[in-house]
Amino acid sequence: MGRFRDALAARGLAAIAEVKRRSPSAGDLRPDADPAALSAQFAAAGAAAVSILVDERFGGSVGDLQTARSATSAPLLAKGFFHREEQLDDLRRAGADAVLLLLRDLDGRRAAAMLARARELGLDALVEAHDASELARAVELGAEVIGVNARDLDTFDIDRGAALELVAAAPRDRVIVAESGVTARAHGAAAELAGADAILVGSALMRSPDPPAKLRDLLARPLVKVCGLTRAADVDVAAEAGADLAGFILARETPRRAPAVLPVPETMLSVAVYVGERGDAASDLAQLYARDPRTRMRGRDGALLRGDEQVARVVDRAWRGKDPEHLERARAAEGRIVLAGGLSPENVGEAIEAVRPWAVDASSSLELEPGIKDHDRVRAFVAAVR
């Protein structure tokens, strides 16, 4: 395994931050981008690797790769349209740790030859697929790092839903990178829960007034879930405040029952919350609690589901009464943890420090009355997490 692959395979969602001056679809993004300065800043901001566009159509050159190499020890991905083995030799000499291979532009023989040469040179290869047939080709080629691009390179349209299904279909023994269209934490979270090990982010960073700060924001954890939403106005405030997940309780035993899973902006993921049996409401994720056979109320903990797959454990408090073991149980739990139960603007910082959860979830502490949010407290809760 090479440095690039190893960096992406580390625990948690990794990011490849891209230096890109312009885009064929969007035009100029950051014409004066300094690859040396940005590469160093991205590495300091948490990037696992840095992608350098070396193609003149993107305002790049191999010289940019050399400049970036002089400024950072982070793994560097050379990104362009490569068809000949000698191009890989040049990129390796310029300091690349990995190269992009586009299956869209390479037939089977060329792809195999390019991948073989990359291995001879000690280069990792990010083998990019755009559809199910290309994903199958990447797997058959033995690609260790597979990119799934949400952008159609003919129309430049973004289809995150289709890309997420490809990510979910990819073998778990490969490193999977979700590419294009990541502009919010929720986009990265959706890719992570579908099975991606990393995201590649370019345009969103280059458009930002402060690219390293934007990268830190995209990678920030824990995510914030505002639950018990029943009104569109409250969804809007949660989104405006910066929440990532919108929870809609569809269980019968709560005064916070939502009429339905309401529409959410693209910066958020919707979560349908059930007790006992899972319903069929359309949502990005589902949160399911068992029903306690003695009380007929919900059990203490739940599961966060993507489709039929559990993707996180929800550690909650008992339905009624005190639960002194709440944080201890959460601290001892393994995997992705959504911490819920009794969280508020006043105590969420202490809870995060104790548990280090993947997401935090609040509902009743943010209300004026059951099902009606206090907008100031919603904003205060999100601010306390960030």
Active site amino acids: 18, 20, 79, 128, 149, 179-180
Strand partners, 311: none
Query: Strands, DSSP E only, in the chain?
Result: 14-19, 22-23, 27-28, 49-53, 76-79, 98-102, 124-129, 145-149, 175-179, 198-201, 223-226, 245-249, 269-275, 285-291, 298-306, 309-315, 337-340, 359-362, 367-369, 372-373
d(CA 146, CA 235) in angstroms, rounded, equals 36
H or E stretch including 249?
Answer: strand 245-249
Query: Strands, DSSP E only, in 192-268?
Result: 198-201, 223-226, 245-249
Strand partners, 147: 128, 177
Helix axes 85-93, 108-121, angle to 10 degrees: 30
d(CA 184, CA 176) in angstroms, rounded, equals 19
Structure tokens at 109: 């023989």
List b or e across 251-262, with b for residues whose CB sees 16 or more CB atoms inside 10 angstroms. beebebbbeebb
**HEC secondary structure over 102-124:** EHHHCCHHHHHHHHHHHHHHCCE
